[in-house]
Amino acid sequence: MNWLYENKEVQTFPEETFGFVYKITCNKTNRSYIGRKQVVSVRNVPLTQKDVLVWKESHTGGRPPKKKQVIKPSKWENYWGSNADFLVYVKEQGLENFTREVLQLCNTKKQLTYWETKYQFSMGVLESEDSFCDNILGKFFRKDLE
């Protein structure tokens, strides 16, 4: 099953998209999972000797940086979440029985965190037995509400 956004299948995202908030729902049982996925992977990696030489050629004076930022596309097309219990459930039920829906596109990491948190609280994921989400931001846990 492909991702849906505004009831249309998603092939690509606008260039400025950093990530998205999603909801994956089992069509048979209505159990769901709300999470987020980055469309791009942003990592800081150490500079190679070649990178340092290139930097020195284009700069006069000062010390070269130790790291550079590398941005690569993520494999969001095949993503099914990070919750281990949910992934087992998906395997048991079969991929064809699920709907993967993009709820919100985000242009920054901060927006991504905000919108994921907002959706999780507003949809009451910690209070619902139909939700696989067991915490929000690693600070609010389902077990603390019982």
- Output the pLDDT for position 89: 95
Q: Which residues of the chain have pLDDT under 50?
A: none
CA 40, distance to chain mean position in Å, is 9
Please state, in angstroms and rounded to a whole number, the distance separating the CA atoms of residues 125 and 37.
18
Stated pTM of the model: 0.86
β-pairing, 98-106 vs 3-5, is: parallel
- Output the pLDDT for position 145: 83
Residue 120 exposed, middle or buried by CB count within 10 Å (0-12, 13-18, 19+): buried
- Output the pLDDT for position 144: 86
